Structure 1
């Protein structure tokens, strides 16, 4: 077993593809998507405004929009409203706020309309602008009511009490002290790329089989369990190194909060055991290397979607979330986020660890049961 294990370590170090798939590619994903989402979180939404009134009241409204956090006002008076509406129809402009002539006069008389043009295909990006316009409309309404109540003899305290909302929303945030984009990206891609080790394991077993190495081992005292253990330990160690590097990169370069070090370490160990155990079992049951790679891609990419590795699983339809519960990726991701975001310890993730171990043991059991049939296919 020792000789088999040392041989595999040497071959894995020589194989450049292993380094690429296990370290370079996941690091590229983390850096690229981390940079994209970090910048997305710091950018503001642009409100395109065309002021046709040019009065103190219309300018005050525009300034009020510009003071809102996360929004930037861009005045579009250089072009006609018709040409800008045409741009929205063409898809080159997402929205436009038009303050018509007579805004100040209409405001004094009791009511005036502000036109909001939006591209229906970009409703999700224009919804925040529509929401703040509605909020401003409510503020103007409250000002009007306050003036009316004051004219009827109410003092400021009475006016404030009358205008107070009957329901007050008290927002209380539980856990989630360390939530940011990287708390989704780093653990998500770490879990996803762990399962690419299965491709490397498939290739190694099929090379051993086709070269006649496995057939020659039948004449040695080395048992099946010893050979499989020797073939399994190097990928297991590789995944441990892979996860450690990716998490440390997230910590050092993006300030990722890792949480309880013992809990994180155990998740990594159990995840490595799970991925390599399933890889060992898969190598014993597939008929060809291409078939194995196809199944691995299905497990890796499909699991990434249903387990919420790319985006929070809460955004997925309920039936997809239910499928995710049957994947090891889901339990690994939830374990990482429980420790990193919610600050939990071993008592909260023991189920996650147990399920990852069970997935890995299932793969190892399949490998032991199917090893003899696999040997019979080996070249002599």
Structure 2
């Protein structure tokens, strides 16, 4: 990569590579490194012998260290290993620090390194990217107090974090089951990353709804959803489907039905996946008659359920003695939905059939272009 940048600059493309070089090589002590074969290295050594000390600009560095291997060696943050690291006199840059932080398996070790590197000689200072990386790691591990400490520090220094980091914090608090901490982050969003646009506000709300559902805080999720709608921040179909699936899983059909009404209120048209979530929810609660009404509505919209959903509806109608209705479902639904999945398991909130189709179309065009 660095060799390619060097070649571009030598060809005269200096202005276009300045920012890229600053990101890769933000310290003046780091020079370009070029990986050469054994024969090329031998030739260069012979040239250097002939020319003497050579030009300072031709200084060569040893191969770049592997951040992952270094992080693995420091996993337990043993004092002897830390002493060896100090003796190495590495040039610390934000990019290298971020790579090491990402490579640590333990959040505690990452935190030790994060604090240690800030006091190393050479003038290294954490920036918004290293802080953002550390905060995401701590949030995933559930260290809400340390996250708050770092956020307080960046606020006092008037550093704004990327919006993507803010959303990651809220999402990770869902994994670590820190619902209250996620709500607090949501309420302080503007002071963390600056004014948030309406589309980003919607994304952040969806992340918080998902986190509240993971933390089994359904009541708080419904309150947040109502507040969003009052502020004209309307969720998309995927968000509604994710909430419906959560409430269906806990047997709260009242909330499922209420959410379906909200979908209509927002002017959205239920898609195939939402209908299937509803049908399965009613069938599992032995309310096959209500599931049948949704099936009828689905067919009027020219939508088809998938095979498992149709089979569950037929089985539920049979169990409730609705033999004629079960036969009618079979007759009216000889075909079932096939092709791309309607949602990815575990990613109901974030990946839809539309996303799958977009990726499918991109790759299809590539193959068609290659065949031509």
Bin for the TM-score computed over the shorter chain: under 0.3
Structure number with higher strand proportion: 1
Q: Which has the larger radius of gyration?
A: 1
Task: Report the TM-score when normalising by structure 2.
Answer: 0.20
